[in-house]
């Protein structure tokens, strides 16, 4: 099986990482372009934190960047990092891969769990009246 190289809108990962932020933003759809250009100050602080962790990683130390900011768009400079994304209850540690570029963080930390039903309770139905108690 031959591994296929990652390509985002005609650019390889290396080209995307060398590209300036303004050129990369032009490749994104309009909703994501707007959130990156007019985003709140929190987003800029998160980017500074990610760049600081990137420098630490070059020294050989790994660190998780935790954030509540689910509207952040995954950028090429984030590939390889582990990001803790808050889902409302806890932080989900997500390893950023090239396929995630251009998506929001919130897409990878689901806020709702699948419903798991157990046996019906007493009085739930007429037939449950005749279920023997343990």
Asked if residue 97 is part of any domain, the answer here is yes
Distance CA(94)–CA(16), nearest Å, equals 21
Helical ranges in the chain per DSSP H: 13-18, 21-27, 30-37, 41-58
Asked if residue 126 is part of any domain, the answer here is no
Token couple for 65:
């960047």
- Strand order from edge to edge, sheet including 82-86: 64-67, 82-86, 91-95
Query: For residue range 65-92, what is the model confidence (pLDDT) as tens digits?
Result: 899 999 889 999 888 889 999 999 999 9
Structural domain of 26: 7-116
The CATH number covering residue 65 comes to 3.30.860.10
Is residue 5 pLDDT above 80, yes or no? yes
Asked if residue 121 is part of any domain, the answer here is no
Asked if residue 132 is part of any domain, the answer here is no
The predicted model scores a pTM of 0.77
**Residue whose pair of structure tokens reads 């990962």 in the numeric block:** 13
- 62 φ/ψ sector (left φ>0, alpha ψ -120 to 50, else beta): beta
Query: For residue range 12-33, what is the model confidence (pLDDT) as tens digits?
Result: 888 988 989 889 889 999 998 8
């Amino acid at each position: 099986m031959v591994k296929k190289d990652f390509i985002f809108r005609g650019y390889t990962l290396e080209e995307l990482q060398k590209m300036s932020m303004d050129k990369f933003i032009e490749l994104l759809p309009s909703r994501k372009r707007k959130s990156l250009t007019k985003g709140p100050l929190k987003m800029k602080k998160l980017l500074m934190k990610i760049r600081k962790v990137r420098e630490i990683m070059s020294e050989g130390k790994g660190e998780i960047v935790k954030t509540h900011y689910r509207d952040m768009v995954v950028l090429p400079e984030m590939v390889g990092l582990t990001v803790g994304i808050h889902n409302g209850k806890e932080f989900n540690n997500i390893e950023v891969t090239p396929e995630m570029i251009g998506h929001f963080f919130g897409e990878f930390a689901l806020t709702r769990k699948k419903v798991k039903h157990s046996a019906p309770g007493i009085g739930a139905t007429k037939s449950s009246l005749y279920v023997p108690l343990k």
